[in-house]
Amino acid sequence: MSTIAAISTPLGVGGISVIRISGENALSAADKVFFPFGDKKVSDMQGYTCAYGEVRDKNGRTVDDAVLTVFKAPKSYTGEDVCEISCHGGIYVTKKILRLCIESGCEPAMAGEFTKRAFLNGKLSLTQAEAVTDMLSAEGDYALSSASLARKGRLYSEIKAVSDSLIKSLGELAAWVDYPDEDIPEVDESELLTSLKENRAALKKLLRDYDSGMLIKNGIDTVIAGKPNVGKSTLMNLLLGYERSIVTDIAGTTRDVIEESVRLGAVTLKISDTAGIHGTDDKVERLGVELAKSRLDECRLIIAVFDISSPIDDEDRELLKYISALDKRKVIVLNKTDKAQSVDKSAFSEYSDKIIAISAGSGEGRDEIRETIETMFTPEDYNADSTVFANERQKLCAEKALACIEEAIAALETGLTLDAVTVTIDRAAEHLAELTGERASEAVVNEVFAKFCVGK
């Protein structure tokens, strides 16, 4: 396989940049570019050692001083010989060093090629490789911890346990089906059924955790609702921690739906700040109202805002009525506690048990909102220890495997022949092998690594 090189750090001005070289000729290519101070050459260096030296161009001119680290096959990320040059983090100098590596015989690495080689060399499973992308893009502690568990192989071993059990059943079935005349013990159907049901439960749990995981990874779709001037924009700015939308005193100014992501402790909210739910003749405003209603219908979490300093009116009641008919998580926020209070908290208690009085203007109550929302979505919905699928591809494989297992269970329960059961279990095992990459086609493997960035 060719020797490849790429810049493995983001391209930008920083303290250091890393150029990574991997392949059979990594050390000899580095010999032409990097000159350790002292009399050693890169190719004389041991694995897991580094040297301080100079990067020089073909004419012997110094380009930068840098540190080179050597990893010897198979003890490297890719499983091949690897050299990493840590140079000064300027865009020009980094690109120049990469060019020198390429002039010395390295090929530019394709997106994800280092990790793909790691997979092909058996350094990690496909699910672990996919977890690498996940980790790079993780936002929030929960997402990171689950990606890092997957990277350590937790997902792989959980899937492997199911697939091993299926293969064990297949072995027993095959022996019995294929050699009916031999003295092979009869397949214990009830034992087989129990084991299939256990496998079904294991896959179902993984699929359920995936849904919660997606929620945490991608953010909880949230709508801030309320009539004009109750303080929705102010609340949104408070949550965002900076000024985002223009806050004005004229009722109905927040006409457009503005979407922002905000991290509240472990969870991320995708918030849209919308117009209120109120009857209006204004066309532009009407549009906003319709949009607000449809957003309420689609979202996962509603933050309904009311002004505690003025009595509940028809618009407030309409909103309360509208949201109480929706089967969603709701937080009722009573804003402007710094002003004289004209409504009592108890007036809202029939609509939600999560009622928080705040002053969005002064920031009082911000922590309470964060804590309330955090506990609404964790830990009952999600456990940081759960392993989850990294993407739709893995989920789809698991779903197909689950469907086959369901089919096998139904076949056993309706007394179909063991032949039929064997075929469906075999298909389930195939889908799981595709999930872990043990039997993934080249197309699938390419697809997975195409999602990576160059240098990873």
Q: Is 359 in the site for ligand GDP (CB under 6 A)?
A: yes
Closest chain position to ligand GDP (CB): 361
Q: Per CB under 6 A, which region of 24-32, 131-139, 168-176, 334-342 contacts ligand GDP?
A: 334-342
Stretch that binds ligand GDP, among 181-189, 229-237, 369-377, 380-388 (CB under 6 A): 229-237
The two tokens of residue 79 are 């499983």
Number of residues that bind ligand GDP (CB under 6 A): 19
- The distance of closest approach from Cβ of residue 238 to ligand GDP in the complex, given in angstroms and rounded to an integer, is 8
Find the binding residues for ligand GDP in span 244-263 (CB under 6 A).
Answer: 247-249, 254
Which residues from 430-449 bind ligand GDP, rule CB under 6 A?
A: none
Q: Binding of ligand GDP at residue 295 (CB under 6 A)?
A: no
The nearer residue to ligand GDP, 78 or 234, going by C-beta atoms, is 234
Q: Sign of torsion, CA 119 120 123 125?
A: positive
**Residue placing its CB nearer to ligand GDP in the complex, 282 or 338:** 338
Closer to ligand GDP by Cβ: residue 25 or 229 = 229
In terms of CB distance, is 116 or 278 closer to ligand GDP? 278
**Which C-beta is closer to ligand GDP: that of 338 or that of 371?**
338
Q: Does 272 bind ligand GDP (CB under 6 A)?
A: no
Question: Could you say which residues in the range 209-228 bind ligand GDP, by CB under 6 A?
Answer: 226, 228
* Residue 232 is a binding residue for ligand GDP (CB under 6 A): yes
- What is the SS3 assignment for the chain? CCCEEEECCCCCCEEEEEEEEECCCHHHHHHCCEEECCCCCHHHCCCCEEEEEEEECCCCCEEEEEEEEEECCCCCCCCCCEEEEEEEECHHHHHHHHHHHHHCCCEECCCCHHHHHHHHCCCCCHHHHHHHHHHHHCCCHHHHHHHHHHHCCHHHHHHHHHHHHHHHHHHHHHHHHHCCCCCCCCCCHHHHHHHHHHHHHHHHHHHHHHHHHHHHHHCEEEEEECCCCCCHHHHHHHHHCCCCCCCCCCCCCCCCCEEEEEEECCEEEEEEECCCCCCCCCHHHHHHHHHHHHHHHHCCEEEEEEECCCCCCHHHHHHHHHHHCCCCEEEEEEECCCCCCCCCHHHHCCCCCCEEECECCCCECHHHHHHHHHHHHCCCCCCCCCCCCCCHHHHHHHHHHHHHHHHHHHHHHCCCCHHHHHHHHHHHHHHHHHHHCCCCCHHHHHHHHHCCCCCC
- The yes or no reply on residue 333 touching ligand GDP (CB under 6 A) is no
Task: Figure out which of the listed residues 25, 335, 386, 422 binds ligand GDP, where binding follows CB under 6 A.
Answer: 335
- 115 near ligand GDP, rule: CB under 6 A: no
Give the shortest CB-359-to-ligand GDP separation in angstroms: 4
Of 12-20, 331-339, 379-387, 425-433, the window that binds ligand GDP (rule: CB under 6 A) is 331-339
Q: Least distance (Å) from ligand GDP to the CB of residue 404? A: 52
- How far is 429 from 418, CA to CA, in rounded Å? 16
Which residues lie below 8 Å from residue 385, measured CB to CB, with a gap of 6+?
Answer: 145, 149
| Shortest reach from residue 450's CB to ligand GDP, in Å | 43
The distance from CA 445 to its chain's CA centroid, rounded to whole angstroms, is 19
**How far is the C-alpha of 173 from the C-alpha of 192, rounded, in Å?**
9
For residue 274, state whether it binds ligand GDP (rule: CB under 6 A). no
Out of 188, 191, 211, 338, the only residue in the binding site for ligand GDP (CB under 6 A) is 338
Shortest spacing between CB 291 and ligand GDP, in angstroms: 15
Residue 197 CB, shortest distance to ligand GDP, in Å, is: 52
In the complex, minimum distance from the CB of residue 126 to ligand GDP, in angstroms, rounded to a whole number: 47
Among 123, 151, 200, 336, interactor with ligand GDP by CB under 6 A: 336
Nearer to ligand GDP, 118 or 236 (CB): 236
CB nearer ligand GDP, residue 272 or residue 424: 272
Question: Virtual CA dihedral for 89, 90, 92, 95, nearest 10 degrees?
Answer: 20
The Cα 417–Cα 411 span in angstroms is: 8
| Residue 230 interacts with ligand GDP (CB under 6 A): yes or no | yes
Contact flag: residue 360 with ligand GDP (CB under 6 A):
yes
Out of 229, 268, 272, 436, point to the residue binding ligand GDP (CB under 6 A). 229
Cα separation, 395 vs 401, in Å, equals: 10
CB of 252 closer than 8 Å to CB of 228: yes
Residue 356 is a binding residue for ligand GDP (CB under 6 A)? no
Site residues (vs ligand GDP, CB under 6 A)? 226, 228-234, 247-249, 254, 335-336, 338-339, 359-361
